Amino acid sequence: MGKSRIAIFYKGLKKVNRLCATVAGILTLFVTLSIFVDVFLRYVFSRPSIWITEVSTYLFLYIIYLATAYTLQVGTHIKVTFLLDYLGPRAKRIVDLVTSIFGIVFTVVLLWQSSIMTWSAFKGKWTSPTILSAPFAYIHGVIVLGSFLLLLTFICTTILEFQGKDPMTEEQG
């Protein structure tokens, strides 16, 4: 029997999520090294940089939002499971479906509001009030991208769960 369209789409989405998580990992390495250099410059030469703290703060948003969908995809997001240990398989499935639906609703609101904020920043040419004058549209834009990928991942995993399939064990893409 052939794979469903949702399973095929989810396989491609998983590749995109993995790529975004890889970029987030590289950014984490860059931020870590930058902060190390800044601490070294500050305490050894008494000459801190003027940009590392601000750039690291913005890149932290990229790290979070680029990795969120992947985290959901592989099932390593934070869960409170102590109550689930007392439930049977059917009840666990129902709880998973309900929490996924709540996750979809939350992510829709996050995507909607972050899109409004990003569009306002783009239209208004908002920049940071610092020496870098970083354009906020590019900083906020990653929230829109990450929320969109998270929403697609939530929808795919919820549909697969509803069909009785385990999204974590579906053929890895």
Residue 12 lies in a domain: yes
Q: How far is CA 165 from CA 3, 51, 94, 122, 170, in A?
A: 12, 48, 13, 41, 7
Residue 170 lies in a domain: no
pLDDT of residue 170: 60
Q: Which domain range does residue 122 map to?
A: 5-162
Residue in the block written with tokens 């479906």: 97
pLDDT of residue 76: 85
Residue 173 lies in a domain: no
| Separation between Cα atoms, residue 160 and residue 8, nearest integer Å | 11
Contact predicate 154/73, CB 8 Å: no
Contact predicate 49/35, CB 8 Å: no
Residue 75 lies in a domain: yes
What is the per-residue pLDDT across 140-159, written as a single tens digit (0 to 9) for each?
A: 999 999 999 999 999 999 99
Residue 168 lies in a domain: no
Residue 50 has pLDDT above 80, yes or no: yes
Residue 172 has pLDDT above 60, yes or no: no
The token pair at 170 is 């579906």
Contact predicate 20/149, CB 8 Å: yes
| Element at 113 (helix H, strand E) | helix 89-123
What is the per-residue pLDDT across 61-120, written as a single tens digit (0 to 9) for each?
A: 999 999 999 999 998 887 777 788 888 888 888 888 888 899 999 999 999 999 999 999
21-30, 31-40, 68-77, 85-94: the lowest-pLDDT one: 85-94
Residue 85 lies in a domain: yes
pLDDT of residue 169: 66
Count of domains for the chain:
1
Residue 138 lies in a domain: yes
Residue 151 lies in a domain: yes
